[in-house]
Amino acid sequence: MTLSTPAILRTSAYINGEWTDADGGRTFTVRDPFSDEVITTVADLGSTETQRAVDAAYAAFPEWSSRTAADRSVILRRWFDLLTAHREDLATLMTHEQGKPLAESRGEVTYGASFIEWFAEEGKRVYGDVIPSHRTDARILAIKQPVGVVAAITPWNFPIAMITRKVAPALAVGCTVVVKPAEDTPLCALALAYLAQEAGMPVGVFNVVPTSRPAEVGSVLTGDARVRKLSFTGSTATGKKLMEQSAGTLKKLSLELGGNAPFIVFDDADISGAVAGAVASKYRNGGQTCVSANRIFVQSGIYDAFIEELSRSVGDLQVGRGTEAGTDIGPLINDAALTKVERLVADAVDKGARIVRGGGVADAGPRCYRPTLLLDARPDMAISREEVFGPVAPVYRFDTEAEVIELANDTPYGLAAYFYGNDHARIWRVAGALDYGMVGINTGMISTAQAPFGGVKESGFGREGSKYGLEDYLVIKYLCWGGLTPKQTGR
């Protein structure tokens, strides 16, 4: 891998402003998911070093939180500028450790940086309230304060954006942070730490603890009472465990968990728009996205025309090495991901689904699953109930609006849903009836720093991005100010 700033590739943890090895020099290996080649080895932290990171964040909190928002904003803005300046290196690093095509990695760096820029500004607008009092000699105020030390446990599918989406609002309002990145992608997290250091982030404010032992590090972060907030993106099963572990210290939580997004195409939809939206939503990041279209429902009247165009588009997608020009889809992240996709497809075919595009691993590489289109899918198939997290699109035919709403909502998940159609009355009805935290209407791309990202049901709670994203890192304090001169009319 060639980087124009080689220092961006870090292999030590970042704690209290210092690059630190694990106690005993323990390391773990980071591999390229396409070739399985070793990229490097990284400090493998355990509970003792994680405790030190919490100590550092706790010690840094009073000073950082007492700065003005404008002061913190200047540092965040410098961090944003550095991400932007180093976009190409960050994208190269990401494609090597995560596998996604370079164009998508570049897009993710821009997307990730946008959270820093957005919250550098929005952090200046944390307002409280002066509330009409119940007594003439008292005043009631509600002020907002940073919650305290934040632990962020982040996934491998968006190894930069899922960190900045949590860390930027936390830092903007005055919290300090310990990030535990996914074991598949610690390098992007450490590159962020390097750029934070370059941006002048004070020591202890932003710490990164790479590890191959997520349960050990997670239990320190959930068990330490000084950590006042945990923000997690990942599977619903792990989210539930972290919630249980956090109960002992009653942490404030944000959980952005799994999804099972329905993508509905009504008879009056624009076919080309709906196909482009389905491809973007389903095959972005090789389908390894919580908001990926997981189930595509197509109304009978438009079914044949839609499938013909979708099949052509899926057939055009190239799977391969992310650094090669022309690659649309990279490898799956690891062997477990591949096994899961193969199991879901085999079960669907067993139960009567037909593969009309793709199916199986391509010659390009052992984890390169072909972009796949499955017709005649049914709700009793495992693929209808589980998050696919791979480039496989099951398609279902439906007749009525009522029928598809019931099918779409028939899942414990409630992250994102999508639909295409042009009847305005139906758009309002369907948008209201879908039991999801986010709904894309005539678009397959909904993620942006300006909007509140998050789910309902077993997809979790809390919102990331937008003005609401700040609230997750704030607590309200009520001040009752008594003993004042009784208020006079008109004053």
Residue positions annotated with a catalytic role: 256, 290
Residue 341 Cβ vs ligand SIN, minimum distance, rounded to whole Å? 16
Residue 111 Cβ vs ligand SIN, minimum distance, rounded to whole Å? 7
Residue 447 Cβ vs ligand SIN, minimum distance, rounded to whole Å? 3
Of 157 and 231, nearer to ligand SIN (C-beta) is 157
Residue 291 Cβ vs ligand SIN, minimum distance, rounded to whole Å? 5
Residue 158 Cβ vs ligand SIN, minimum distance, rounded to whole Å? 5
Residue 379 Cβ vs ligand SIN, minimum distance, rounded to whole Å? 24
Of 51 and 233, nearer to ligand SIN (C-beta) is 233
Q: Which of 36-44, 121-129, 157-165, 344-352 is the region at the interface with ligand SIN (rule: CB under 6 A)?
A: 157-165
Which residue in 34, 79, 118, 158 binds ligand SIN (CB under 6 A)? 158
In our burial notation (b when 16+ CB lie closer than 10 A, e otherwise), range 385-413 reads bbbbbbbbbbbbebeebeebbebbbebeb
**Mode of pairing for the β-strands spanning 38-43 and 27-31:** antiparallel
Compute the distance between CA of residue 32 and CA of residue 36 in angstroms, rounded to an integer. Answer: 5
Q: Burial level of 309, CB count in 10 A (0-12/13-18/19+)?
A: middle
Compute the distance between CA of residue 410 and CA of residue 457 in angstroms, rounded to an integer. Answer: 12
Compute the distance between CA of residue 29 and CA of residue 14 in angstroms, rounded to an integer. Answer: 17
Tally of CB atoms within 10 A around 71? 10
Contact 30, 40 (CB under 8 A): yes
Of 78 and 284, nearer to ligand SIN (C-beta) is 284
Whose CB is nearest to ligand SIN? 447
Residue 295 Cβ vs ligand SIN, minimum distance, rounded to whole Å? 17
Q: Burial level of 322, CB count in 10 A (0-12/13-18/19+)?
A: buried
Q: Which of 11-19, 153-161, 367-375, 423-431 is the region at the interface with ligand SIN (rule: CB under 6 A)?
A: 153-161
233 lies in the binding site for ligand SIN (CB under 6 A): yes
**What residues between 251 and 310 interact with ligand SIN by CB under 6 A?**
256, 289-291
Half-sphere exposure of 491 (CA within 13 A, CB side): 6
Of 22 and 416, nearer to ligand SIN (C-beta) is 416
For the chain, helix, strand, coil in percent to 5 are 40, 20, 35
- Overall size of the chain counted in residues: 491
**What residues between 405 and 434 interact with ligand SIN by CB under 6 A?**
none
- For residue 70, CA distances in Å to 118, 124, 163, 313, 418 come to 13, 6, 22, 47, 38
Q: Give the SS3 label for residue 46.
A: coil
Of 194 and 263, nearer to ligand SIN (C-beta) is 263
Of 161 and 348, nearer to ligand SIN (C-beta) is 161
Size of the site for ligand SIN (CB under 6 A): 9
Q: Burial level of 442, CB count in 10 A (0-12/13-18/19+)?
A: middle
Q: Where are the alpha helices (DSSP H) in 123-253?
A: 161-173, 186-198, 214-223, 236-247
Of 30 and 291, nearer to ligand SIN (C-beta) is 291
Helix (H) or strand (E) holding 129: strand 129-131
For the chain, first and last CA: distance in Å? 68
Compute the distance between CA of residue 409 and CA of residue 414 in angstroms, rounded to an integer. Answer: 8
Q: Which of 156-164, 175-183, 208-216, 262-270 is the region at the interface with ligand SIN (rule: CB under 6 A)?
A: 156-164
**What residues between 16 and 35 interact with ligand SIN by CB under 6 A?**
none
Partners of 397 in beta bridges: 298
Site string for ligand SIN, 189-208 (x = CB under 6 A): --------------------
Of 46 and 330, nearer to ligand SIN (C-beta) is 330
157 lies in the binding site for ligand SIN (CB under 6 A): yes
Q: Which of 16-24, 28-36, 54-62, 154-162 is the region at the interface with ligand SIN (rule: CB under 6 A)?
A: 154-162
118 lies in the binding site for ligand SIN (CB under 6 A): no
Rounded to the nearest angstrom, the gap between the alpha carbon of residue 465 and the centroid of all alpha carbons in its chain is 10
Residue 262 Cβ vs ligand SIN, minimum distance, rounded to whole Å? 16
221 lies in the binding site for ligand SIN (CB under 6 A): no
447 lies in the binding site for ligand SIN (CB under 6 A): yes
Residues at the interface with ligand SIN (CB under 6 A): 157-158, 161, 233, 256, 289-291, 447
